[in-house]
Homo-oligomer: A and B are copies of this chain.
Amino acid sequence: MTEIPSLVLERIIRMALEEDLGSGDVTTDSIVSPGVQGTASLVAREQLVLAGLHVFAGVFQTLSGEVRFENHYQDGQVVPAGGRICRVTGPVSVLLKGERTALNFLQRMCGIATTTRTYVEKCRPWKARVVDTRKTAPGLRVLDKYAVRMGGGFNHRLGLSDGILIKDNHIAAAGSVTRAGELAKRGAPHLLKVEVEVEDLEGLREAIEAGAEVVLLDNMSPGEMKKAVEAAGGRVVLEASGGIDLGNIERVAETGVDIISVGALTHSAMASDLSLELQGMP
């Protein structure tokens, strides 16, 4: 499973800490002596799928080389309500300074993973993969997409350079699906597939003829999708997209599409409820 590159992660963590710390923690530094050590437990206050434990840890490690972690769960596992995810030991002042930033990362990532898992569970009887979109929080895409993977989902392209997706506007600009497909294939790097967005069966037919390797069925009803699956006959990968939620995903999955992409995995996931409880202070 693709890891978040460490250099990218470092950069994101530093940006977040600089944002929260500003010119310094005026409360903690006034009250807590730098030398005081403490221990804290990271606790799930509701059931969740864990994602981003190393991001959480990285926040404290960026602040100090003296923080230690003892993990009881790992990314991808389900943590029950009340579950103690890890123990953190180090200077109390560091625990207090990093707490909010570390939790902000983790609550978002667990929220995404937990939401994803719910969608994935619904699709389990069928072959369809649950896939994310580019509808992520700006600057946090690698984290959002990692969380989707931890929830059992898969990733669509990360950005505009690692996948060719011809949408309605591209087709309009080119004049026809055929022409758009031709132009895309002419210059495309040979390790990228060409996906075409269509709205009906006629579009699907044209897309296949134009050499599409993946076809996105945009806002089709389950009934239409079923026909699309039959019409495609396995010649292309079919992705269902648009307006899919927990209420209708099963009906989509049972049409036989290969991929179901859901923007809500990342654009509207609820934060998981987590807390960092300090013990052992003097």
Assess whether B27 is in contact with A165, with CB atoms less than 8 Å apart. Answer: yes
The stretch among A77-85, A188-196, A227-235, A246-254 that forms the contact with chain B is: A188-196
Residues of B within 8 A of A96 (CB): 167, 169-170
- Chain A 89-133 near chain B by CB (<8 Å), digits 1 or 0: 000100011001101110110010000000000000000010100
- Chain A 180-209 near chain B by CB (<8 Å), digits 1 or 0: 100110111111110100000000000000
In the docked arrangement, what's the CA distance between A27 and B105, Å?
Answer: 26
In the docked arrangement, what's the CA distance between A178 and B256, Å?
Answer: 26
Tell me the count of chain A residues lying within 8 A, CB to CB, of chain B. 105
Assess whether B18 is in contact with A7, with CB atoms less than 8 Å apart. Answer: yes
Q: Known: A19-B139, A107-B267. Contact between A7 and B14, CB under 8 A?
A: yes
Residues of B within 8 A of A20 (CB): 134, 141, 159-160
Assess whether B189 is in contact with A6, with CB atoms less than 8 Å apart. Answer: no
- Chain A 1-25 near chain B by CB (<8 Å), digits 1 or 0: 1111111100010111111111111
In the docked arrangement, what's the CA distance between A97 and B166, Å?
Answer: 12
* Chain A, 223-282, CB within 8 A of any chain B CB: 237, 239, 258-259, 263-264, 267-271, 278, 281-282
Ordered by A's residue number, 12 sampled pairs between the chains whose C-beta atoms are within 8 Å are A5-B22, A7-B17, A7-B62, A16-B139, A20-B159, A21-B159, A26-B184, A31-B166, A139-B139, A162-B163, A175-B282, A192-B192
